[in-house]
Every structure is written in C-alpha cells, then in structure tokens.
Structure 1
Amino acid sequence: MNDFNRGYARSIPADRADMSVDAGLRSFMLGVYNKVALGLVLSAALAYLTGTFAPIRDLLYVTQVGADGVTRAGGMTILGMIVAFAPLGLMLISGFAMRNPSPRSSGMLYWGLVSLIGASLGLVVLMYTGASIFQTFLITATAFGGLSLFGYTTKKDMTGFGSFLIMGLIGIVLASLVNIFLKMPAISMIVNVLGVFIFAGLIAYDTQRLKMTYYALENDHVGQGVATNYGALSLYLNFINLFQFLLALFGDRR
C-alpha cells in the first residue's frame, strides 16, 4: 500500500512544513486531534462497559472473585479473543480492500477500530485499579500533548528517526511474541520500557508527518479528509500503546 493509501502523501522537506501559524494547517490538525479525543472517549466508555457490566463482561472474560470481594480477570473467552484480535484483522483486510480510500471509508475504518480496541480494553479495567488507570491516563495525555507539540514545532526532519522507531517497534513485537512462550519477567520489563520510548517518539514523528502531509495535499480536500482519519488513527494507536506500556510499568494491579 502506498503512502497516500495510508493517509499520508509523499514526504516533503521538514523546513517546507515549518509554517506553524498557517490557519489551514491549524484547522487540519484540530480535526485530527478532535477525532483522537472523541476516539479516546468512546474507547473509555466501551472499556468501562465491557469491564464492569456483568452480562457483557462475562461474554468476553473469565473472571474470578477474590477473598476481598474484588472481581479480577482470569482469562479471555473465545469471543473475547476474537474481539481482541479483530482490530489487527480489520487493519490487514483494509490494507488490501481499501486501495483508494475515501474520507467516508477511512472514517468508518477509524471508528470501527476505535470501537473494537475500546471493547477489548475491558481487560485493563479488570486488571488494574481505577485510580491507577486514571492517573496513568493523565500522565499519558500530558506526555502526548508535549510530544505532539514538539513534533508540530520542530524544524528538524524526523524521517530518519521515524524509520529507526519503526524498526524498534518490530523488535518489541517479536520479543513479545517470543516471551509468550518463555514468560520471562526481565524480557517483559525491557519490552515495556522500550515500548514507552518508541511510542513517545512515534507521537512526535507522526505529528510532523501529518504536518508535512497537509502541505503536500494543500489543494486536495478529498486527500486531506483521508489523511485526517488515518492521522487520527496513528496518533490514537500511539496514545493507547503508550498508555498500556506505562500502565504495565507503574500501574497498581487489583
């Protein structure tokens, strides 16, 4: 799939995109951030629903009630596993099916993925305390704002840095798959720490890439509509992954 089909136009030099006061760019980025924010609200609502509403929770998760009366996750049902892996399947299918995405189809993809990911986050609600989830979310939101601002304002071209981050992401995915069988706490710790740094960097990188995309598609309103949805998806996924890695490192389990 080419760059445009991922919601990005071909990159242009970073100094070409150094136009922070451009009203059109502000409007474009505001559209992206609004979708990310609404996506996070929807995900939080679905996570709370699937993690606390017993009729739905019990369809997705195997739960255990401890001696303290607290309900904890004991595993996932078959339906829960389907919901958890559905976002990956949907992304793979869309990569082949959506060769020339429209704003409507890319928007449907975004909200479909956000809904599925939100539903699967009920496991987080069952694993960690509410206070821990809330505190980690605030930390993630603060970090996201600062990192995205850096990516938006920096004059340094982050293309090479982004390629390095993608390689690191592939590495931690492979390490995580291997550790499913090895179950070594040391590897989990390393993956979590690296995950925080990688997704922190990707937030800044994807923000700059969106900025450059806007100028490459300056007179293409349809292309900008697609880029808004794919850009929101990239930043949303970065936020969710950063949140989960931080929670794994510092969160208090039930």
Structure 2
Amino acid sequence: MDQRTSFSSAGEASALQTNKVLRNTYMLLAMTLTFSAVCAGVAMSIGLGQGAAMMMSLGALVMIFFLNKAAQSSMGIVFVFVFTGLLGASLGPMLNHYAGFPGGTSLIMQAFGTTALVFFGLSGYVLTTKKDFSFMGGFLLVGLIVAVVASLANIFFAIPALSLAISAAIVFIMSGFILYDTSRIINGGETNYIRATVSMYLNIYNLFTSILHLLGVFGGDD
C-alpha cells in the first residue's frame, strides 16, 4: 500500500512538473513572439539593410551559446529576449521586400495566419492525444541538415525551383519538429522551459519564413 502511494505521489509530481514546464514554455513563447514582432516592425520602419540584418542573424547564433550556458538561471530569460529580438529585427528587410508586392501586407498576414494555424493545430493534436513523437528526432535532424546544405549550395547555383523545394521541405520539417518538441515536453524529455521556448520559437520562425517565401512565389515573386 505504501509503495503504491509512493508511485502515485511520484506520478503526480511528474505531471505537475510537466504542466509547469508546458505552461512556462507557452507563456514565454507568447511574450518572445510578441517582442520579436515588435522588433521586426521597428526594423521595417527604419528600413534596416540586408547587411545589418545578416549581422543580427549572426549575433542571434552567438546568443545560442549563452542561452545554453544560462538555461538554468533567470539570466537565461534575458538572453531569450535578446535572441528572439535579434532574429525578429533581422526579418525587417525580407518583410519590406514582400510588403512591396501588390497586396503584400495581406500576403504577410496570410503567412502569419497559416503559421499560427499549423502550430496550434499540431501542438493541440499532441496535447490532446499525448502521443510520443520522439522516434522522429533522427529523421528530422537528417532532413534539416540536407535542407541547410541544399540552401548553402543554392546560394551559388541560384536555382528558383530548388529554392522553392527547400522552402516546402522546411515547412514539413518544422511541422515535424513542432510535433517532436511538444511531445518531448509532455513526455518529460524536455524539463527546461527556456530551452523548450527557443526550440519552439525557431520552429515557428523557420515555418513562417518558408511559408512566406512559398506564398510570395505563387503570388508573383520572381
């Protein structure tokens, strides 16, 4: 009887911890996405250049090192906002590019809405079914590596069809990562909400930019 009570208490504690990580992750994710959007808006309004945007993206990559070091401390939250702010601002030139299209603002909002729909739909599915998608980790990592290598190669080849294929692949890969990362949280694979927030943010960020590119192509982007 005592042993059963012990197991029950441990299970309840684990469930409470999981719910806490999940709640903190989505709360911090909402705040960082809002902050990132504000930074993107500021970058658009001041006409941030491609060079500055590239430097901000590189700065965000450097921030990942500090994030990993500070993930267990409150300072990690500061680094998360710096990281997401830099990435948000780096979107300025790209968003201004698409905003210059006929109906460009509508195009951006459509990409945003589609991204939100995919994220909430996939996350909601995992939260409802409690399915474990940890088996997808290896496949997703390989797919991401292939997409990155193809993207780097296409810088030199500049093949429009390949660029389109890469964006489509990234949409599927990031959708898979949303399933995978949400599953890791609810199944106890990820117990740090700062790291979980960064993972989710990157999924949404890459999903949004890829969807925007695809919509831009079909909307008349050359």
Do these two structures clear the TM 0.5 threshold for a shared fold by scoring above it?
A: yes
Aligned-partner residue type, residue 26 of structure 1: N
Deviations 1:136-185 (A, max 9, x none): 11111111001112222335432221210111001100100000000011
Aligned to 1:136: 111
Aligned to 1:90: 63
Aligned to 2:29: 36
1:106 has 2:81 as partner: no
Call closer, same or farther: CA 1:101–1:46 in 2, change over 3 Å: closer
Aligned to 2:202: 237
Of 117, 142, 146 in structure 1, the residue corresponding to residue 87 of structure 2 is 117
What is the distance in 2 between the residues matched to 1:156 and 1:33?
19
Matched residue of 1:87: which SS? helix
Aligned to 1:197: 172
Deviations 1:193-242 (A, max 9, x none): 110000001001100111223xx78xxxxxx5xx1111111111101110
Gaps of 5+ in 1: 1-17, 62-75, 218-223
Of 43, 46, 64 in structure 1, the residue corresponding to residue 39 of structure 2 is 46
What is the distance in 2 between the residues matched to 1:237 and 1:46?
16
Aligned to 1:11: none
User: 1:52: how far off?
Assistant: 1.6
Question: Would you say the 8 A contact 1:110–1:230 is kept in 2?
Answer: no
Question: Would you say the 8 A contact 2:71–2:195 is kept in 1?
Answer: no
What is the distance in 1 between the residues matched to 2:182 and 2:55?
31
User: 1:247: how far off?
Assistant: 0.6
Matched residue of 2:59: which SS? helix
User: So what's the TM-score if we normalise by structure 2?
Assistant: 0.82
Aligned to 1:176: 151
Instruction: Give 1 or 2: higher helix fraction.
Output: 2
User: 1:49: how far off?
Assistant: 0.8
Aligned-partner residue type, residue 29 of structure 2: V
Deviations 1:100-157 (A, max 9, x none): 7423132122111111101101123211121111111111111100111222233543
Matched residue of 2:132: which SS? coil
1:126 has 2:96 as partner: yes
User: 1:37: how far off?
Assistant: 1.2
Matched residue of 1:44: which SS? helix
Matched residue of 1:127: which SS? helix
What is the distance in 1 between the residues matched to 2:74 and 2:174?
28
Show structure 1 runs of 4+ deviating over 6 A.
none
Aligned-partner residue type, residue 88 of structure 2: G
What is the distance in 2 between the residues matched to 1:131 and 1:123?
17
Of 149, 159, 162 in structure 1, the residue corresponding to residue 134 of structure 2 is 159
Instruction: Give 1 or 2: higher strand fraction.
Output: 1
Deviation larger for 156-165 or 107-116 = 156-165
Aligned to 1:73: none
Question: Would you say the 8 A contact 2:36–2:87 is kept in 1?
Answer: yes
Aligned to 2:5: none
Call closer, same or farther: CA 1:155–1:228 in 2, change over 3 Å: closer
Aligned to 1:14: none
Q: How many pairs are equivalent?
A: 202
What is the distance in 2 between the residues matched to 1:239 and 1:25?
22
